[in-house]
Chains A and B, each alone.
Chain A
Amino acid sequence: MPNNKSWIPYLLIAPSVIFLALLFLLPLVQTIWLAVSEGGVPSLANLQTMAGDLNFRLAIRNTFLLTLAVVPIQILIALAMGSMVAKVGAGRETILWIWTIPLGISDLAAGLLWLSILQNSGYLNSLLFNLGVIERQANWLSYQTPIALFFAIAVAEIWRGTAIVMVIIVAGLNQVPKEFREAAEVFGAGRWTRFLRITLPLIKPALQSALILRTVLAFEVFAVVYALGGSNMPVLVGEAYTWQNQNQNYGVAAAYAVLIMVISLAATLVYLKAVKVDPERLP
């Protein structure tokens, strides 16, 4: 009897597989072909144009720097937030709800929000001016202030993207059995030891998911950078966008898209290897 119905799982899964194949795999193959062909024949011209472009190295450098600056800070903040909220009894839901508000804001809106704070006639300058710290409007987002611009973008990204990391980590923390911690306490382990030896290893799967998700998203950062820095701080996705829309060279845009995908896949592999998860703890 059961053998007769062995096709049912496949049938149920078929729509999603077909959907993904049509709307993801097919465009993916087309994009890769677009990147490595010119006029219908295989060619490296697009990749060469990309690598020889004025902004290529800058875009790679900025994207990696931003990822390196943003992801670790987000993980640390999320861990701290998750641990703090674990101790809260009443009002826990409300606190979590407030913390996850940035999740509901699109990244472009987040960029525009920070723009209204940091632009010349923005809230920050008004505040500093009223406090007498500055005498006239200061530029924070121009090409002459690359460090301030980088800092502004990093802050906006951290503000916007930490909530998702926190949600995953809170879910992970909820899975840690209370008995382990109580047992450790009985044996006299301090808070720090308990965190390092019990909590951290037990939330590794959640940590791994959070790291992969956040890093891949960080490599795809665009809207916040575009809103705050325009073309002052080139990043990889921004370059893909510019080649597609401004320069109207779809081949080079596709080359950038493929490069971003390769980097994201590599980062995912690194995390899968580096943050080893005990197979028994896998779902």
Chain B
Amino acid sequence: MKPSLFIGLLMAASLFAGTFAHAETIFLSTQLRPIEEATAVRNVILKDLQAPVEYVVEEPPQFAVRMEAERQAGKHTISLVGALHGELSPIAAKDGFVPLDDLAKELQAKGMPKALLDLGKLGTDKQQYIPWMQATYVMAANKQALQYLPEGADINKLTYDQLIEWGRKMQAETGQPRIGFPAGPKGLMARYFQGYFYPSFTGGVVRPFKSQDAAKGWESFKQLWAVVNPNSTNYNFMQEPLLADEIWVAWDHIARLKEAIASQPDQYVIFPAPAGPKGRGYMPVVAGLAIPQGAPDEAGAKTVIEHLTKPETQILTAQNVGFFPTVDAKLPSDVEPGIAMLAAGVDATQQAPDAVISLLPVGLGDRGGEFNKVYMDTFQRIVIRGEPVADVLNQQASNLSKLMGEAGAPCWAPDATSQGPCPVE
């Protein structure tokens, strides 16, 4: 009697453990990693989902390694991944995702913009990921700075010349440089050069790297830098110097401005980055949801995607973590004022008539870090160390050209498409 009871218990336990392990859909994400955000995902955003899902997070470099390891081993534990466009593209290049065309069709019928869905094809003819949430970079200004705006300048249609003028005036009147950039070791300054500076001054990112336009742009950036707070090379998240009142005008990712804006919405304004001779460069940040080939629970993963792309879940996401909807979802009028301001800033950026969209780098595989380094080294040498513009651009262009060749990355918008690796002209 006793042994059979024991065996029965053991069997029941193992059965239970078995079903339990299989019932969980594992959702791995490189986004919403900080503990408060991950908790919001688990306790708020995924709360109304009936199916059990386990939300786990991983830093982007480890994410790439883990996905590759699971692919090589053929032993899959992850059913759903959430990551940035550029993080998903190396995996899609190796045919690592289940095509999601049916889901995409459904979502398009429900009002997800086609342009956004097309990003999710990553240059293939299949839907590789479903756009999950989006963000971008904007500028934030303390209201104290507005009195120094140059005459006739509209903050929503600012140009680089006006920004320089504004900075000079603030420095002259307050005795301190009041503009800041996140050029610290963990800041996103490289994205500024790739998505804002280069498109605005040259209309491209890689092709016109050492063009006349680029040289002129760098000359003008040097003038701007003269009125930028020199502590910028220490700034990583612009919300910190903004809150400390060290600077008044800043450019950064909305998630890295959120804390300042949300805590003192009356103190700040949000507006699009300035325009250069070729338009107003801007870089959307799109996070997508994808199902790895061989996922243990494909059906469960699809349920989670359907849940996350519902308008009401997308609104919850915007309210809780400050990433904005990819579907047609109006934020309610009682949304936190800081979030509403950021949403309006994103809108103004996207709707600007002179907007030049610049996508995140694609197809660089594991060379993304070195791609950023080319832009940051150029900045370091021209602006910080004052080396001659033409020489630096020539030398860095050859580095860039070598890198693009080795990675075999074709051009992405706003550069004209290329056969083979994107050339530096």
- How far is it, in angstroms, between the C-alpha of A261 and the C-alpha of B199 when the chains are bound? 43
Q: Is the CB of B184 within 8 A of A248?
A: no
> Residue B401 at the A interface, CB < 8 A?
no
- How far is it, in angstroms, between the C-alpha of A139 and the C-alpha of B230 when the chains are bound? 8
Q: Is the CB of B246 within 8 A of A120?
A: yes
> Residue A141 at the B interface, CB < 8 A?
yes
Contacts of B405 in A (CB 8 A): none
> Residue A230 at the B interface, CB < 8 A?
yes
Q: If A54-B380, A136-B176, A248-B61 touch, does A142 touch B369 (CB 8 Å cutoff)?
A: no
Q: If A121-B246, A246-B185, A247-B373 touch, does A230 touch B381 (CB 8 Å cutoff)?
A: no
> Residue A144 at the B interface, CB < 8 A?
yes
Contacts of B61 in A (CB 8 A): 245, 248
Q: Is the CB of B231 within 8 A of A142?
A: yes
Q: Is the CB of B369 within 8 A of A230?
A: no
> Residue B244 at the A interface, CB < 8 A?
yes
Contacts of A246 in B (CB 8 A): 185, 369, 372-373
Q: If A143-B384, A246-B369, A248-B61 touch, does A230 touch B246 (CB 8 Å cutoff)?
A: no
- How far is it, in angstroms, between the C-alpha of A272 and the C-alpha of B61 when the chains are bound? 42
Q: Is the CB of A142 within 8 A of B185?
A: no
Q: If A121-B244, A142-B234 touch, does A247 touch B184 (CB 8 Å cutoff)?
A: no
> Residue B233 at the A interface, CB < 8 A?
yes
Contacts of B380 in A (CB 8 A): 54
Q: Mark B98-110, 1 if CB is under 8 A from A, else 0.
A: 0000000000000
Q: Mark A146-162, 1 if CB is under 8 A from B, else 0.
A: 00000000000000000
Min CB gap B272→A, angstroms: 28
Q: Is the CB of A143 within 8 A of B377?
A: no
- How far is it, in angstroms, between the C-alpha of A135 and the C-alpha of B370 when the chains are bound? 42
- How far is it, in angstroms, between the C-alpha of A226 and the C-alpha of B233 when the chains are bound? 12
Which residues of B170-191 are within 8 A (CB) of A?
175-176, 184-185
Q: Mark B350-384, 1 if CB is under 8 A from A, else 0.
A: 00000000000000001111101100010011001
Q: Interface size class for chain B?
A: 20 to 34
Count of A-B residue pairs with CB < 8 Å: 55
Total interface residues in chain A, CB < 8 Å: 22
Q: If A136-B175, A143-B233, A144-B230 touch, does A242 touch B368 (CB 8 Å cutoff)?
A: no
- Given B230, B231, B233, B369, which contacts A247 in the complex, CB threshold below 8 Å? B369
Q: Is the CB of B233 within 8 A of A230?
A: yes
Q: Is the CB of A232 within 8 A of B233?
A: yes
Contacts of A142 in B (CB 8 A): 230-231, 233-234
Which single residue of chain A is at the shortest CB-CB distance from B381? A54
Q: Is the CB of A249 within 8 A of B185?
A: no
> Residue A231 at the B interface, CB < 8 A?
yes
Contacts of B234 in A (CB 8 A): 141-142, 229-230, 232
Contacts of B366 in A (CB 8 A): 248
Which single residue of chain B is at the shortest CB-CB distance from A252? B370
- Given B176, B184, B246, B369, which contacts A249 in the complex, CB threshold below 8 Å? B369
Contacts of B381 in A (CB 8 A): 54
Extra 9 A-B pairs, beta carbons < 8 Å, given A120-B231, A143-B230? A121-B246, A139-B231, A142-B230, A144-B230, A231-B233, A232-B233, A246-B369, A247-B372, A249-B369
Complex A-B, nearest 3 residue pairs according to Cβ-Cβ distance, in ascending order: A142-B230, A247-B369, A248-B369
Using CB atoms and an 8 Å cutoff, list the residues of chain B in contact with chain A. 61, 175-176, 184-185, 230-231, 233-234, 244-246, 366-370, 372-373, 377, 380-381, 384
21 A-B pairs within 8 Å (CB atoms) are namely A120-B244, A120-B246, A121-B244, A136-B176, A137-B246, A139-B230, A141-B231, A141-B234, A142-B230, A142-B231, A142-B233, A142-B234, A230-B185, A231-B184, A231-B233, A242-B185, A246-B185, A247-B373, A248-B61, A248-B369, A249-B370
